């Protein structure tokens, strides 16, 4: 039986994540009090027809203090329950804007308290869960489709026991992805943005890819990245890292970073990994 604790900031996409989990066979239970977590697990284990995959949403609505939430998880460990934690996050300003746009009430808001204050209070409550999370997804700049794809890729059966590798291109002008474990900066390379015929294309186009990789410095930088990853990836896996995100950035996340993300993902496949390849900012604006 697989137990997944789904948690994170209100407005960061927990509902979308649980919908995606239901689509791949998880039985999902939303918003339970932290004190009932161990009883729910006990019930599911004693059932004559136990569910094989259970996702339980546990957040600040069901545990009004960090101690209460961590005690519930400690009780699971004492029972020998094997579980994983997925944390959905987003920047405070993004969460605030989402609540303002939808005109929804934040679950921790109180009279005479702003949305910003409620967000900060919730983050403080959930900080221990964030630190303990096995999987972290920052949805600040992630579309609904990208989030669903990410969750589905993480928790499908194939390769479930292996380290999940994500290769993510991004633009520094939009911010470094919070979930990044390793960040490569390829702004040192010649920029296709200044080639008129390539400006509005992306690294997914062969013309842009070939332009970037025609330079000796590009090929040499890629070779050195590959050498580093050949050495480092097995070390991460050996230490029990369940999820590793390699982020490759250029200015706008459209040309050079996409090209290198494609190349690194292909290299990872050649050496036995099954990376998730994502391009966060490839369709934004016209700068790279």
CB 208 within 8 A of CB 282: no
In a domain? residue 285: no
Q: What is the mean pLDDT of residues 167-173?
A: 97
Please give the pLDDT value at position 168. 97
CA dihedral 199, 252, 208, 149 (to 10 degrees): -130
Q: Provide the β-strand partners of residue 194.
A: none
pTM for the full predicted model = 0.65
In a domain? residue 79: yes
- Whether 19 and 146 map to the same domain: the answer is yes
Q: What is the mean pLDDT of residues 241-270?
A: 95
What's the half-sphere exposure (Cβ side, CA atoms, 13 Å) at 229? 30
Q: Given a cut of 70, is residue 63 above it in pLDDT?
A: no
Mean of pLDDT over the chain: 88
Residue recorded with tokens 């950035």: 249
Structural domain containing residue 63: 2-155
Q: Given a cut of 90, is residue 111 above it in pLDDT?
A: no
Residue 40 pLDDT class (50, 70, 90 cuts): confident
- Whether 150 and 11 map to the same domain: the answer is yes
pLDDT in tens, 119-129: 998 998 888 88
Q: How many domains does the chain have?
A: 2
Please give the pLDDT value at position 161. 45
Please give the pLDDT value at position 241. 79
Residue 49 pLDDT class (50, 70, 90 cuts): low
Radius of gyration of the chain (CA): 21
In a domain? residue 287: no
pLDDT in tens, 203-254: 999 999 999 999 999 999 999 999 999 999 988 887 767 789 999 999 999 9
Please give the pLDDT value at position 154. 84
In terms of Cα–Cα distance, which of 117, 135, 195 is closest to 5? 135
In a domain? residue 288: no
- Whether 28 and 135 map to the same domain: the answer is yes
CB 285 within 8 A of CB 252: yes
In terms of Cα–Cα distance, which of 174, 12, 146 is closest to 92? 12
Q: Given a cut of 90, is residue 255 above it in pLDDT?
A: yes
Give, to the nearest 10 degrees, the angle between helix 144-155 and helix 14-23. Answer: 50
Please give the pLDDT value at position 159. 40
What is the SS3 string spanning the chain?
CEEEEEEECCCCCHHHHHHHHHHCCCEEECCCCHHHHHHHHHHHHHCCCCCCEEEEECCCCCCCCHHHHHHHHHHHHHCCCCEEEEEEECCHHHHHHHHHHHCCCCCCCCCCCCHHHHHHHHHHHHHHHHHHCCEEEECCCCCHHHHHHHHHHHHCCCCCCCCEEEEEEEEHHHCCCCCCCEEEECCCCCCHHHCCCCCCCCCCCHHHHHHHHCCHHHHHHHHHHHHHHHHHHHHHHHCCCCEEEEEEEECCCCCHHHHHHHHHHHHHHHCCCCCEEEECCCCCCCCC
The CA angle 117-5-27, to the nearest 5 degrees, is 120
Give the domain CATH number at 126: 3.40.50.300
Please give the pLDDT value at position 184. 98
Please give the pLDDT value at position 1. 58
- Whether 141 and 214 map to the same domain: the answer is no
In a domain? residue 272: yes
Least confident of 51-60, 138-147, 201-210, 270-279: 51-60
Of 123, 155, 187, which one is at a domain's C-terminal end? 155
């Amino acid at each position: 039986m697989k137990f997944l604790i789904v948690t994170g900031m209100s407005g960061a996409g927990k509902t979308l994540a649980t919908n995606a989990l239901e689509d791949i066979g998880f039985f999902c239970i939303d918003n339970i009090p932290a004190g009932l977590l161990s009883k729910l697990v006990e019930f599911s284990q004693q059932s004559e027809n136990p569910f094989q995959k259970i996702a339980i949403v546990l957040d600040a609505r069901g545990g009004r203090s960090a101690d209460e939430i961590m005690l519930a998880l400690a009780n699971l460990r004492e029972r020998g329950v094997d579980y994983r934690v997925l944390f959905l996050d987003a920047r405070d300003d993004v969460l605030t804007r989402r609540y303002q746009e939808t005109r929804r009430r934040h679950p921790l808001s109180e009279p005479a308290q702003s949305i910003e204050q409620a967000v900060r209070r919730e983050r403080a409550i959930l900080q221990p869960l964030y630190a303990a999370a096995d999987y972290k997804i920052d949805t600040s700049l992630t579309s609904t489709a990208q989030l669903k794809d990410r969750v589905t890729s993480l928790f499908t059966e194939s390769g479930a026991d292996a380290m999940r590798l994500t290769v993510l291109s991004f633009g520094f002008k939009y911010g470094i992805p919070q979930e990044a474990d390793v960040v490569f900066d390829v702004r040192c390379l010649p920029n296709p943005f200044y080639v008129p015929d390539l400006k509005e294309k992306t690294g997914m186009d062969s013309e842009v890819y070939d332009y970037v990789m025609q330079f000796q410095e590009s090929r040499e930088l890629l070779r050195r990245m590959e050498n580093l990853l050949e050495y480092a990836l097995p070390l991460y896996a050996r230490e029990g890292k369940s999820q590793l995100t390699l982020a490759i950035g250029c200015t706008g996340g459209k040309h050079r970073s996409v090209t290198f993300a494609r190349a690194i993902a292909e290299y990872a496949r050649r050496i036995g990994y099954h990376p998730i390849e994502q391009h966060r900012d490839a369709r934004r604006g016209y700068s790279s």
